Structure 1
Amino acid sequence: MGWVRRLILAELQWTFVKKQRIFRRMSSQVRLSLLPRARCMFDEPVQVKVAGLRSRQVVTLRARSTDEKGVVFSSSATVRADGSGRIDLERDPSLGGTYTGVEPMGLLWSMRSDTLHKRFQLYSSLNPYVVKFSVHEEGGGMLAEATNERLLIGDGVIRRPIREGNIRGVLFTPPGLGPFPAVLDLYILGGGFSEKKGALLATRGFVVLTVVAYGYDDLPKKIDEVHLDYFEEAIQFLRKQDKVGSKGVGVISISKTGDLALSMASYLQGVRAVVWINGCSANTLLPLYYKKSQILPALMLDLSQLIPTESGAFNIKKVLNDPGAEENEATLIPVERAEGRLLFAAAEDDLNWDSKAHVDMMVERLQRHGKDNFESVCYPGAGHCLEPPYGPYFPSAFHVVTGRVVLFGGEARSHAAAEVHLWKNIQEFFRTHLSCDATQTKAKL
């Protein structure tokens, strides 16, 4: 009977060899394409296409990336090829995975870590965001792969660390003679300091100073008060740059820096346009000083209002004291003093605080004072952390102020769509309201 076993074994080996040959031949025919190119800017979409599959073959598309802290994020989509063995994510729906339906960039925004409450850490503009795309047959065998290198800083943009006077941050200057509009990108704490927005805006034709108030470089690690004088110095520094042609500067802000940006527009000269994203209508957390005098007390937190959830993260939406309460009236920013244009962007599912209510409060105040220098946009289903588009969405992460993991809110698909719309809106807003004086700038050069 030994010869029978040897015959069966030989037949099985031959079958295995044939299957391997078929797999290698099939996998060599499968092509994964990233269009219009595999190397692009972070805020640019790519078209994901697959060719060379069997007619109506079901495969899994995957994306994988590692952040600056070494944490791996991944996503997947189960997709059926058409009759010609082709897949186009602009046309073909995901039948399952980390997202479903037709979402051309779903593999990017739906990436997540296996560990709960992780935020994709991407701070330096010098490090490209590298995403590995791959196609897998049922059973897991990889048929094709491609690498998407997503840049934060474009060709010719000059990045210069700044230590001028009291100012600490990074200056981004576009290539060319200009003149260019100037934008101040605000950060309070150095630990949350990211060059992403500044580098991308510079790539789109803005001179951007990304500036930090504390906890960065040789700045104090902790502060008990915020001084507008520091940001006034940053405005003056930015306006003196040779390629800057706008008569004033724009300010882009989010969360706590939102109320800081409004205070700058209300008390300082030279602020012509402010983008406020999911901020507050009152001065929060730290008292605000100008010329050594306190101009606004701080609206504080009530940590007894923390709500634990089953995920281990806390809901903190009600933690901030009510700025509309009579006892907190002194913390409200006199936004009616602002002469520049204001763009309010509020996520309706913000769980950090009630951004939509803060917008409504400011709009009512501005209208009461006869002001019309503002516009607002609200995003249903979006969460607190609205950033440049196509990064991994995160619903929860560590919150430095409360010292806990918290919910930031939002539904991934709606949040991703809001980021695409807002990022375009921001650039149009600044271009419209930061007009440049070409004659003045050429004279400088």
Structure 2
Amino acid sequence: MEESMSAQMRLRLLPSARCLFDEPIQVKVAGLRSKQLVTLRARSTDEKGVLFNSSASYRADGRGEIDLNRDPSLSGSYVGVDPMGLLRSLKADDLHKYFYKNKALEPFIVNFSLHEEEGRMLAEATNERHLMGDGVRRVPVKEGNVQGVLFTPPGEGPFPAVLDLCTFMSEKRASLLANKGFVVLALPVFIGKPNLERMNLDDFEEALQFLQSQPKVSSKGVGVISRSKGGDIALSLAAFVPGVEAVVWINGCSANIGIPLYYKERQILSPLMFNFGKVIPTESGANIIKYAVNNPLAEENKGSVVPIEQADGHFLFVASEDDLNWDSKGYLDDMVGRLKHHGKNNFENITYPAAGHLLEPPYGPHCPSALHGMLRFPVVWGGEPRAHAAAELHLWQKIQDFLRTRLTSSAAQTTSKL
């Protein structure tokens, strides 16, 4: 009897073990004893070779089955019903590790395994989570001052175009947006070591022009999506450079952070600086830097505030209230107030009460703290893990709807909704 039991043991990933990075899967187990207690484990290795793990204990129903869409985890990395909880809670053994999955050609590989209480493995299955859908083209770009990666959807187009400003190079969000019918140029704000002397808005304008010149791009203006330091660059493009039709600003600043910004050989914005005396250390060894950023509303910092009231395009402002990197919610409120004061209503805004700084495409591992790219010490990003994951899922759809609405002519809009 024991033999036939194990032969029927199944760990299934539905609808398929292969999917896109931003698609959910259903994890189901069959062939267990009635009410048997087991542990499900997930593990994955990131691009830097760091191993991440998660686990959760489940009790089978009377028929010896478990369905993660229905059944609660009793203990482990999370408790309660959380169908994609094993992915969200993947964690490295060392503290302050961000899961690097930034190259679009390699899928995010997650190994799921089922174990008896004593630890013996009963079954396993591998989930291949792809960043690029069928027919999407990936072309590295090195032209003039433009250094990034261009993603183009299959088909004739014309497609809406989006500049994805990542603080440091990542192809993840750009490739996933290309799957949805956008031509996307992933462009890092910093290549290699950040130059803190000056930043040229002209380089980003050049990237916009490169995008607009692509054969499959529709004639309507370009969209920009950004987070963190990319946010103030996106605002500056909207304020100073023509043709920016839509800006998605995620947990950015309302002022130009850290580095003087130049355009056409003259400084247009002074830098808003940090006061390192206001950094708060935590027991984990990561620092809270939220209160270390100087106040953009103070008189002496007025020259760093981006004059978004000059912009013709539309804004989607997104702020996490548990962002511990800086006061994203405060910056959002300031910008909304300023636009209203100028009689403008060219914006939408969303706030997520319990989410943290790093809002990304859904179903990646939650990162509570990691090394800060500019400051070179570990910082706390914030976010209650489950609420943060829910915010990522909600926002991902919102971003697509906003960009599609703002970058498509009305005729094309009706067809894309079918």
Q: TM-score range by the shorter chain?
A: over 0.9
How far did residue 212 of structure 1 move? 2.5
Aligned match for 1:39, one of 12, 18, 30: 18
How far did residue 329 of structure 1 move? 1.3
Q: Secondary structure at the match of 1:358?
A: helix
Contact kept, 8 Å, 1:179 with 1:436, in 2: the verdict is no
Contact kept, 8 Å, 1:180 with 1:436, in 2: the verdict is no
CA 1:382–1:305 in structure 2 vs 1: closer, same or farther (change >3 Å)?
same
Superposed, 1:11-410 pairs within 5 Å as 22=2, 24-188=3-167, 192-216=168-192, 222-410=195-383
Q: What amino acid maps onto 2:169 in structure 1?
A: F
How far did residue 436 of structure 1 move? 4.6
Contact kept, 8 Å, 2:169 with 2:191, in 1: the verdict is no
Moved more, 381-390 or 322-331: 322-331
> Which whole-Å CA distance do the structure 2 matches of 1:221 and 1:438 have between them?
43
Structure 1 runs (4+) deviating above 4 angstroms are: 436-439
**Cα-to-partner distance string for 1:227-261 (whole Å, 9 max, x where unaligned):** 11111111111011111114110000000110110
**Aligned residue-pair number:** 412
> Which whole-Å CA distance do the structure 2 matches of 1:246 and 1:76 have between them?
49
Q: Secondary structure at the match of 2:221?
A: strand
Q: Secondary structure at the match of 2:61?
A: coil
Residue 13 of structure 1: aligned partner? none
> Which whole-Å CA distance do the structure 1 matches of 2:154 and 2:199 have between them?
34
Q: What amino acid maps onto 1:200 in structure 2?
A: L
Contact kept, 8 Å, 1:181 with 1:436, in 2: the verdict is no
Residue 415 of structure 2: aligned partner? none
> Which whole-Å CA distance do the structure 1 matches of 2:359 and 2:248 have between them?
12
Gaps of 5+ in 2: 413-418
How far did residue 437 of structure 1 move? 9.2
Normalised by the length of structure 1, the TM-score is: 0.90
Contact kept, 8 Å, 2:281 with 2:287, in 1: the verdict is yes
> Which whole-Å CA distance do the structure 2 matches of 1:34 and 1:338 have between them?
47
How far did residue 265 of structure 1 move? 0.3
Q: Max radius of gyration: which structure?
A: 1
How far did residue 213 of structure 1 move? 4.0
CA 1:246–1:37 in structure 2 vs 1: closer, same or farther (change >3 Å)?
farther
Normalised by the length of structure 2, the TM-score is: 0.96
Gaps of 5+ in 1: 1-20, 440-445
> Which whole-Å CA distance do the structure 1 matches of 2:87 and 2:376 have between them?
29
The CA RMSD measured in Å over matched residues stands at 1.4
**Cα-to-partner distance string for 1:210-233 (whole Å, 9 max, x where unaligned):** 1134425xxx76351111111111
